Amino acid sequence: MQDTMAAIIPCHYCSCPLSLKCSLKSSQKAQLHNKLDEKLFPLKECAISLALAVGLVTEMPFVDWSPNAYAANPAMTDLSVLISGPPIKDPGALLRYALPIDNKAIREVQKPLEDITDSLKVAGVKALDSVERNVRQASRALEQGKSLIISGLAESKKDHGMELLDKLQTGMDELQQIVEGRNRDAVATKQKELLNFVGSVEEDMVGGFPYEVPEEYQSMPVLKGRATVDMKVKVKENPNIDECVFRIILDGYNAPVTAGNFLDLVERHFYDGMEIQRADGFVVQTGDPEGPAEGFIDPSTEKTRTIPLEIMVNGEKSPFYGDNFGGSWFIQGSNKASIQCFWNNGHGQRRV
């Protein structure tokens, strides 16, 4: 990937095979396709993470930007994904499902709370009947699975996790009271609070970085965990907007090299003052500096930095890596929760 932005590609609740055409080595490709053949890829919770999830998206279009990054915790020539079910579009849900944990009990608490979003799509107070079922299911799952959830907490984070579980239980009781009082307007706020507790409990299950980055990429910037980047944007065309902010969550658990590269360039101020090269209501794209360079020139090599294709597939312990490539990634977003990712290597645009 060359020095622009990328996004997590959600593929939750899908039940058909994942078709990949990419630059993986033959042995890697055979291994991946064998996995697909074995499982027919019946993914209920699949997130192919290329680089980052957008935690908050604000106004578009925009022109200048100057990011400020801080750590929250210590590609592809052709890709087609077949999706038979609705993808998860909520950025927070994507981040929760993408955590490297394997604890069925906490996921059984999480899912009905996530499903409240769909329940609220029903008009009027009728939605509260479905919400009430969601809350009862989540409460029952927490009661029955609490010991398994606690056993899944990292030892160093166990006390904090247990405190969060108590807050979660209290919050679900409060949500039940909201539903019984037929206060539909208060449901979404309380749901968000409860899902934040769930996400924090799941983070407390991650005791360390879950795998080793291949030796050939260890000299590159690597993010072992997650980091948050606030991208400040000045809008020239709209005098009513002085400045807006994109909040971007870099997911190093699923793409440590790709996320590490992006964070490194932010910390080097590579993007400071750079104009958005394209903002036409269809995509927002940047990362091409002025002059002949087509990306970041690494001072240690005096060459354009490229990084390998990096794909995390659900059920695998670590990402698949392919050949280095140039080109640019850019994000399309028609609203706060809908993101599409594209790649262009100069030989035609590919949509992910």
pLDDT at 3 over 60: no
Confidence of residue 31 (pLDDT cuts 50, 70, 90): low
> pLDDT per residue over 337-349, tens digit each?
333 334 443 333 3
Burial (CB count <10 Å: 0-12, 13-18, 19+), residue 181: exposed
61 pLDDT band, cuts 50/70/90, is very low
Q: Mean pLDDT in the chain?
A: 74
Question: Tens digit of pLDDT for each residue in 269-305?
Answer: 999 988 888 878 888 788 888 888 888 999 988 999 9
Give per-residue pLDDT as tens, 189-200: 999 999 999 999
Strand ranges for the chain from DSSP E: 8-10, 19-21, 47-49, 52-56, 64-71, 78-80, 226-234, 244-251, 274-275, 278-279, 284-285, 297-298, 303-304, 307-311, 320-325, 328-335, 338-344, 349-351
Among 73-77, 96-100, 168-172, 194-198, which stretch is predicted with the lowest mean pLDDT? 73-77
Instruction: Decide if 165 contacts 141 (C-beta within 8 A).
Output: no
**pLDDT for 236:** 77
Predicted local distance difference test score (pLDDT) of residue 238: 78
Name which of 40-44, 95-99, 108-112, 190-194 the model is least confident about.
40-44
Quote the pLDDT of residue 323.
Answer: 55
pLDDT in tens, 110-120: 999 999 999 99
The Cα 270–Cα 27 span in angstroms is: 36
More confident position, 259 or 334: 259
What Å distances lie between residue 40 and 26, 34, 71, 104, 236, CA to CA? 20, 10, 37, 21, 49
In the predicted model, what is the mean pLDDT of residues 8-36? 38
Helix, strand or coil, per DSSP, at residue 202: helix
CA distances 309 to 77, 183, 217, Å, are 9, 48, 11
Would you say 149 and 201 are in contact if contact means Cβ atoms under 8 Å apart?
Answer: yes
**Structure tokens given for 234:** 């000045």
Percent of the chain with pLDDT over 70: 67
Res. 164: pLDDT tops 90: yes
- Per-residue model confidence (pLDDT) at position 89: 80
CB environment 138-161: b (16+ within 10 A), e (fewer): bbebbeebbeebeebbeeebeeeb
pLDDT of residue 286: 82
User: Which residue shows structure tokens 């630059």?
Assistant: 23
